[in-house]
Amino acid sequence: LKRANAPGNVLLEVGEANLPEKSVVNISQIFTVNKSQLKEKIGTVSELRVCQIIQGVQLVIEPRE
């Protein structure tokens, strides 16, 4: 949770997407995972959270002036 306030990161509260504890989407450490490595679906984030995550990713990938 130390990185929750970093630019672009998104804090997920207890219960969001069935998470048992607060969690942080750390947009600076995004990587791909093969679907075969996933075991079970835990939950789904809301449309609002998806938008916040996309905005965070855009901070990382868009060129700065």
| pLDDT, tens only, 10-60 | 999 999 999 999 999 999 998 999 999 999 998 999 999 999 999 999 998
Q: What is the pLDDT of residue 48?
A: 97
Cα 41 from Cα 33, distance rounded (Å): 14
Cα 33 from Cα 59, distance rounded (Å): 22
Position 2 in a domain: no
Position 5 in a domain: no
Range of the domain at 22: 10-61
Position 51 in a domain: yes
Q: What is the pLDDT of residue 63?
A: 74
Read off the pTM: 0.82
Position 3 in a domain: no
Name beta bridge partners: 12. 23
Into how many domains does the chain fold? 1
**Quick one: which of 24, 2, 29 has its CA closest to 13?**
24
Position 34 in a domain: yes
